């Protein structure tokens, strides 16, 4: 990742932690920075993960919310099938370059788009407006 892309990624990630943290705590969620979802030899690592309870300090079998901040050549979309199989309830995809927020909620067979997080009670448009997008 180029230094400027890495910097944009980090700035957005830190803002998301600040903006979503209070809502996550009110919802009874625990926050982790990058966390391991899955088990050894079969896991994915979102940029931010919110869990309902910590079952192990290293391995989380699932998450309430997985947050992915898009970066060049990243594998965000490729993780969705794994997250669904792992029981993740919502996925938030944030693209600093496009300045977009995409909420995905768990459906029976795959994630589908939503305009808000039911868990955090925040609209995608509200979150997009709150972010100070890096130039």
What is the phi-psi region of residue 120: left when phi exceeds 0, alpha when psi lies from -120 to 50, beta otherwise?
alpha
The CATH code of the domain that includes 18 is: 3.90.1570.10
Q: How far is CA 106 from CA 47, 90, 115, in A?
A: 19, 6, 13
pLDDT in tens, 57-98: 889 999 999 999 998 888 899 999 999 999 999 999 999 999
Give the number of other Cβ atoms within 10 Å of residue 50's Cβ: 29
Residue 52 lies in a domain: yes
Query: pLDDT-based confidence at 56, cuts 50/70/90?
Result: confident
* Mean pLDDT across 33-50: 92
What whole-number distance in Å separates Cα of residue 61 and Cα of residue 58? 10
pLDDT of residue 3: 56
Comparing 117 with 135, which gets the higher pLDDT? 117
pLDDT of residue 1: 54
Residue 90 lies in a domain: yes
Residue 89 lies in a domain: yes
pLDDT of residue 93: 97
Mean pLDDT estimate for the chain = 92
Residue 51 lies in a domain: yes
Give me the number of domains the chain comprises. 1
pLDDT of residue 32: 74
Q: Domain span at residue 105?
A: 3-130
Give the number of other Cβ atoms within 10 Å of residue 17's Cβ: 15
Q: How far is CA 108 from CA 6, 22, 89, in A?
A: 35, 29, 11
Residue 135 lies in a domain: no
Please tell me the pTM assigned to this model: 0.93
């Amino acid at each position: 990742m180029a230094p400027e892309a890495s910097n944009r990624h980090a700035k957005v990630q830190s803002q998301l932690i600040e903006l979503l943290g209070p809502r996550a705590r009110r919802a009874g969620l625990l926050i982790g920075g990058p966390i391991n979802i899955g088990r050894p030899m079969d896991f994915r690592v979102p940029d931010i993960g919110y869990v309902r309870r910590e079952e192990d300090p290293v391995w989380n079998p699932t998450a309430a919310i997985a947050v992915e901040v898009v970066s060049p050549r990243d594998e965000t979309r490729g993780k969705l099938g794994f997250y669904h199989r792992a029981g993740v309830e919502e996925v938030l995809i944030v693209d600093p370059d496009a300045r977009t927020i995409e909420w995905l909620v768990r459906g029976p067979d795959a994630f589908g788009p939503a305009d808000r997080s039911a868990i955090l009670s925040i609209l995608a448009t509200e979150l997009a407006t709150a972010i100070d997008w890096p130039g």
